[in-house]
Amino acid sequence: MRVEIWSDIACPWCYVGKARFEKALAAFPHREQVEVVHRSFELDPGRAKDDVQPVISMLTRKYGMSEAQAEAGEDNLGTQAAAEGLPYRTRGRDHGSTFDMHRLLHFAREQGRQVELLDLLYRANFAEERSVFGDDERLVELAGAAGLDADAVREVLADPEAYADEVRADEREAAQLGANGVPFFVLDRTYGVSGAQPAEVFTRALTQAWGERSPLRLIDGDAEACGPDGCAVPQQ
């Protein structure tokens, strides 16, 4: 079974939702037969790379809330994150373009290091003081910690079109599936789960999707074939 997760590194509920989903997956009896694929979604597409601002300022401008409301929202997110064992800085974070991070995540997937890089990006953005926005060398450092070659990462970052099509394809697909927010979980292209649901919801979704998988039906299954005992050879 395949689970695809659309998310953004700038999305705090994606950070929390990933932890809740992984808690459910860890207890799922068939977890070894579940493939998890992370897909790109930008909350702020088209934002310039050098357009970086404090999170609180972004929230007040984008959503029209007061500074006190924005700070209360961050405090609530900090509590939610702590309940999942996640560190979260409620003050002093900033916000910017995540496009380059998504490009690097596609590169990391090719190298078999996507999950490692995603986890490091989340932690760096939500728990560490040094910003992940507008600083290529910061991304190179994190990618290196994920096991990627630093020079190869610099090459990707230096070419704005490298893996750009892959990011945009993920975002088009999200729109086609009806995802207008993240996190968005798709199980075997049959069930969708929106938002950072409790682990119990993910458990039910995994169980239901697994139980309703369609068995393979063979057509003309008696033709000659090769198997562990050799190949069937027609007799003269």
pLDDT digits (tens, 9 = 90+) for 201-224: 999 999 999 998 866 565 654 556
Residue 101 class from Cβ within 10 Å (0-12 exposed, 13-18 middle, 19+ buried)?
buried
Confidence (pLDDT) at 212: 87
Confidence (pLDDT) at 216: 54
Confidence (pLDDT) at 37: 96
Strands 184-187 and 2-7: antiparallel
CB–CB of 188/1 below 8 Å?
A: yes
Reference 107, options 188, 35, 161; nearest CA is 161
Confidence (pLDDT) at 227: 56
**What is the pTM for the complete model shown?**
0.90
Distance CA 58, CA 133 (A): 14
Confidence (pLDDT) at 16: 98
Confidence (pLDDT) at 231: 60
CB–CB of 93/128 below 8 Å?
A: no
Q: From the CA atom positions of the chain, what is the Rg in Å?
A: 21
Q: What is the pLDDT along the chain (236 residues), one digit of tens a residue?
A: 999 999 999 999 999 999 999 999 999 999 999 999 999 999 999 899 999 999 999 999 999 999 999 999 999 999 999 999 999 999 999 999 999 999 999 999 999 999 999 999 999 999 999 999 999 999 999 999 999 999 999 999 999 999 999 999 999 999 999 998 999 999 999 999 999 999 999 999 999 999 988 665 656 545 565 655 656 555 55
* pLDDT tens-digit map of 11-22: 999 999 999 999
Helix or strand (DSSP H, E) at 93 = none
Four-point Cα dihedral 19, 58, 103, 134, nearest 10: -120
* Sign of the dihedral defined by the CA atoms of residues 80, 130, 22, 166, in that order: positive
Reference 152, options 108, 120, 112; nearest CA is 108
